Amino acid sequence: KAGVTQTPRYLIKTRGQQVTLSCSPISGHRSVSWYQQTPGQGLQFLFEYFSETQRNKGNFPGRFSGRQFSNSRSEMNVSTLELGDSALYLCASSLTPGQGSSEQFFGPGTRLTVL
């Protein structure tokens, strides 16, 4: 069974641009969560989606948005990029919602660099 796939793996953008990251969950998984990982802040929760509905949202500005499609694939978008948005963005999928109750499987991440 294929694991969680994230595309692209690497991205370089400039300040002010916007970016869209994609995540394909493990087949049969309907829940997708997104995290931002930086050396200074560590792993921070962005959003959780289940059946195309956002269940939870972390403490990030409105520039960060996401969505989930009927096939459970998910995208996240960051508009008006800032230097501080440079990070590894991780996606995780699970069979059911609830990050504590259903094992999450992580993708390799998308490394975003903002210049």
Partner 1 sequence: AQSVTQLGSHVSVSEGALVLLRCNYSSSVPPYLFWYVQYPNQGLQLLLKYTTGATLVKGINGFEAEFKKSETSFHLTKPSAHMSDAAEYFCAVSDQSGNTPLVFGKGTRLSVIA
Q: Name the site residues for partner 1 (rule: CB under 8 A).
A: 4, 33, 42-45, 48, 55-56, 58, 90, 92, 97-104, 106-109
Q: What minimum distance in Å lies between the beta carbon of 83 and partner 1?
A: 21
The CA distance from 82 to 53, in Å, is: 27
5 in helix, strand or coil?
strand
Q: What minimum distance in Å lies between the beta carbon of 63 and partner 1?
A: 19
State which residue, 70 or 101, has the beta carbon closest to partner 1.
101
The CA distance from 10 to 12, in Å, is: 7
State which residue, 17 or 58, has the beta carbon closest to partner 1.
58
State which residue, 46 or 114, has the beta carbon closest to partner 1.
46
Question: Helix, strand, coil: what percent of the chain each, to 5?
Answer: 5, 50, 45
